[in-house]
Structure 1
Amino acid sequence: MMHAAPAPADSAGNWVDRHAPSFLRPFLRLARADRPIGSWLLLIPCWWSVALALDMQTRAGAPAYLPALAYAGLFAIGAVAMRGAGCTWNDILDRDIDGRVERTRSRPLPAGQVTLFGAFVFLAVQCFAGLAVLICLPPFAIGVALSSLGLVAVYPLMKRIIWIPQLVLGLAFSWGALMGFAALLGALPPSAFLLYAGSVLWVVGYDTIYAHQDREDDEEVGVKSSARLFAGATRVWLVGLYGGTLVLIGLALAAAGGGVFAWVGLAGFAAHLGWQVWRVDIDDRDNCLKVFRSNRDAGLILLAGLIAQALAG
């Protein structure tokens, strides 16, 4: 039997609580539909790669605007489905730990809103939705996408094993930085791998900020995280991680022959990351959540520059 429980502390007052049918709310919370920021952060590297690959096509005299738009739409659907599936899988594996952490103890599984069997069924439904998107892609892109599944599967276990599980999250969450090239170009040029590497460091940085919300609880239950490892030196680490992000993405733009609009986008992205380093307060949970969420805007700034460059040719 399912029991009513309040929404997690960092998601109360969202559209799920206000508008979704009551019987769907626990499942939507399981997929983090009440917190779409994760879907945005999974999607943005996909769109970066589509825009950069389109720019390369445009300068080669063979732009594929409609396929690029179609792939961007497919990646949006896929990001929502696979982010939800990843969160569901994470909660299945972490249901006992979540029940001991203040911020997560009211999630659907530890709160008894969803049974373990129901969670597995819901996971299968989301995976089938992701599969429906996958089969719409070219064969090479399908192969690239399938190569990420191992990382997605093992990530929830990493907090029990390594001190920077955020690195594995970055490797999985940044996979979309390869997908636009794979879909549009049917290849992975050097710029794809540079963009991917830059995105990985970006994810490690912003998820370290996010992890500071749970730093004390993680220490109590024995869960590892970069927030615990970096501790009071987090700001210094963020400078290094975000600095590496900018260098690698800059190299990706250079390798792809990016023009002035792309570099302006990168400059705006850099300014936003600098603001985050200045603004973050690792001892203030509300501040950490706000700064973490602002990464959607940071990613969209860079995306705007890449799109403008692709259209300018």
Structure 2
Amino acid sequence: MSDVFDARKATRAPRAERPAWKERPRAVTQVAKTAVLVLTVAMVLIPFWVVIATSLAPGQQIIDNGGWAFWPDTWTFDAYRKVLSNEVTTRALFVSVGVTAFGTFFSLVCTVFLAYALARPRVVGGKPIMLLILFTFLFPPSFIPTYLVLDSLGMIDTYWSLFLPVLVNVFNLVVVRGFFQGIPEELYEAARLDGAGELRTLFTIVLPLSKAVIAVVGLFYAVGYWNDFFRGVMYLNDNSMYPLQTVLRGYVTQGEGLASEFTAEGKLSQAPQAMKMAVVVIATIPILCVYPFIQRYFTKGVLAGAIKS
């Protein structure tokens, strides 16, 4: 019994030789980590709560507090009713949903097919094409050439201009390609022995194993399309075609379409600031509702693809 104990003691590394990450954290370190975590969460949640509270506060309280409210004296949804009753906002909301849905779908299709082709060995021209794609990542096209190309193709003032110029993101392509390369080659060989072609291999073997990376990349595309306002400003001359983020930019920066309303007693019932915050909340909630369902795929999807690429 003593011999076994001595052997275990001999194989155990001395305390001074153990790596720092194997040491048990001290109480001071744990307290410091907790304090930093609490501070970080507070820095994120408090501004977001102020936005929500301001959107739900009465107009006079917002004016008295200098344009914001931390806790509404009276909870009211008048700002949301006013915003959603505005035809411009509701139309822009449908435009954003449509552009996000179609753009994400087409981007995923193109990214998956291109990544699969570049991930397979002995593809004719695979390496030059990959280098060309990486070149566009290091030296992206500027606005003027992109605008001239879209204008020559007749895509100005069309919804195509909102997602075709950014249909394939190079970072997402590299991540998906790396994930495909990490799939064991034996599975591809077994598929070929069973007589499966490339398309059948992709749909029956590769895609079922790649749900994590596809979910993460799809979220990246969706967030990018949903939050984009620049292309709406630059490529659309018709205000009725604006997506929600472009309308939100006009509300927040210029106050377009936001007017103060007063009660019969002369008190302010709705303030432009409350309506601005209501638009911010409406534009943020859809993405926040999607994140919890995709969060568990982040580590598996992104890290696996990035490491193996």
Q: Which TM bucket (shorter chain)?
A: under 0.3
| TM-score after normalising by structure 1 | 0.24
| TM-score after normalising by structure 2 | 0.25
The structure whose RCO (Cα within 8 Å, separation 6+) is larger is: 2
Bigger CA radius of gyration: 2
